[in-house]
Amino acid sequence: MDTVTRNFSSTMASDSDAGNNLETVDVRYGYVMIFSTIFVFYSLNNYVAPCFGTPKSVRDDPWRWRNLFISWIHGMIAGIWNILCFVLYPEIFDDLIEHINYFTYMLVAFSTGYFLYDSIDMFLNNRLKSNWEVTLHHIAVTSMFWSNVHRGSCIGYNCVALMAEINSFFLHSRKLLQMLQIGFDHWCYRVVTYLNLITFVSCRGFSVCRIFYGMYTEPSRVPTLFYFCLSLSMIVMSVINVVLFWRLFKSDILKPQKQQAKLNGNHNSFYRKDE
């Protein structure tokens, strides 16, 4: 497999300046990262997660706990890694298509490996249909991420897309707390709930808007087939995000208000269950 070379200097820089700022990335390392990630998450799921036990609320379905625990770990690692990408390499926004270096490239390969692993895990446990939103998400994301890892292109856009993992950390934390039966009025749960909604709007919202903006301003810089597949993926992602945000907003904002009004009316305590 050939070594991929990309110039990630500013698009406003001169040709002579751009030629002095090259990064060479060997695509083979990307595949090593993908398969290594699959192996690591498989090991965590089968040998580490069981050591923590299973909460009483999901003992009849321990797969849910282990799967969410692995997703939480990925969200934490990818979220921190993603923030570091933009802090250490702010020039990534100069050209989201041509930017590439090992730090950002390996993040995309790492997440590609996770999404592949999670898809395999759901398939082996007959969860593809029951978790259809996650299945659609993984198909949309994995197809585009793998293509970009293989071609060594659009890594910057993938990093923007992975801003969603910052939110995913809080999204999965929220669900883990529910499984641990932490009260919905507990301060820890409330903090996670609000951080989840804030990062949902800021991180997921910005990433979707920035990618759509790039699709509008730079369609000629990518192959037609790639652009078509990207368009389908973004439509799927947009619909999923809207549906998910409404569910979260209804569950964590609207319901508490209604139940608080009911509580004030009859002076009875309540413990709200997840939808």
Annotated domain spans of the chain? 3-266
Spatial neighbors of 86 by CB under 8 A, at least 6 apart, are: 92, 159
* Residues 135-172 as b or e (16 or more Cβ within 10 Å = b): bbbbbbbbbbbbbbbbebbbbbbbbbbbbbbbbbbbbb
Give the model confidence (pLDDT) of 116-127 as tens digits. Answer: 999 999 999 999
117 in Cβ contact with 36 (< 8 Å): no
Angle made by CA atoms 225, 231, 72, in degrees to the nearest 5: 115
CA 209 → CA 160, 161, 196, 215, distances in Å? 10, 10, 19, 10
Confidence (pTM): 0.85
**Whole-angstrom Cα Rg for the chain:** 21
Q: What would the mean pLDDT of 120-136 be, rounded to a whole number? A: 94
d(CA 127, CA 103): 33
Among left, alpha and beta (phi > 0; psi -120 to 50; other), residue 126 is left
Could you give the angle at which helices 62-88 and 102-124 cross, rounded to 10 degrees? Answer: 170
Residue 185 has pLDDT above 90, yes or no: no
pLDDT at 23: 72
Residue 149 token pair: 């890892």
CA 136 → CA 8, 15, 115, 129, 139, distances in Å? 31, 41, 11, 10, 5
Residue 207 has pLDDT above 50, yes or no: yes
Q: How confident is the model at residue 258 (pLDDT cuts 50, 70, 90)?
A: low
196 in Cβ contact with 211 (< 8 Å): no
9 in Cβ contact with 89 (< 8 Å): no
Residue 260 has pLDDT above 90, yes or no: no
In the block, tokens 């009025």 appear at: 185
pLDDT at 7: 41
d(CA 263, CA 161): 41
Q: Select from 136, 109, 115 the least CA-distant residue to 71.
A: 115
Phi, psi (5° rounding) for residue 49?
-55, -40
How many residues make up the chain in this entry?
Answer: 275
Phi, psi (5° rounding) for residue 4?
-100, 130
Q: How confident is the model at residue 257 (pLDDT cuts 50, 70, 90)?
A: low
Q: How confident is the model at residue 9 (pLDDT cuts 50, 70, 90)?
A: very low
Give the model confidence (pLDDT) of 49-82 as tens digits. Answer: 888 889 999 999 999 999 999 999 999 999 999 9
